[in-house]
Amino acid sequence: MADRNPPRPTDAELAILRVLWALGASTVRDVHDVLNRHAPTGYTTVLKLLQIMTEKGLVVRDESQRAHIYETRYSEQKTQRQLLSDLADRAFDGSSAKLAMQALSGRKTTPEELNAIRDLLKRLEGGSK
């Protein structure tokens, strides 16, 4: 029954997922408090979003307490890769390498980050996982 392909989260959904990844399993109130700090958001707005996300399978809900506990269903990394794979298909001819190159050219990158990427390249080329 579980969806094989998780649906692409919308903007508002992604904002909630980010909070859940940061906090771990949380109540609606927890999520609302964080989001409200950045931009005024109604409590019921967050609640509704989480209900929809539960239906979509983006989060799972523990209803054993009065205040339900929500948790992400997919890791941050998995979701990020999904989004990138999607964008590569839609705008980069399916090429992740083209995408990566544009990303690196587009914005400033620190020397530390460049080194990290160099290491990554070495690992990829090594053929080892």
Q: State which of residues 2, 5, 38, 40 lies at the interface with DNA (CB under 7 A).
A: 40
Q: Does 49 bind DNA (CB under 7 A)?
A: yes
Q: Does 121 bind DNA (CB under 7 A)?
A: no
Buried residues in 69-104 as b, exposed as e (16+ CB within 10 A):
bbebbbeeeebeebeeeeebeeebeeeeeebeeeee
User: Is the backbone of residue 118 left (phi > 0), alpha (psi -120 to 50) or beta?
Assistant: alpha
Q: Does 26 bind DNA (CB under 7 A)?
A: no
Q: State which of residues 23, 51, 82, 84 lies at the interface with DNA (CB under 7 A).
A: 51
Smallest distance from the beta carbon of 69 to DNA, in angstroms? 8
Report the partner that residue 36 touches, choosing among DNA, its own copies, none (CB closer than 5 to 8 A by kind).
none
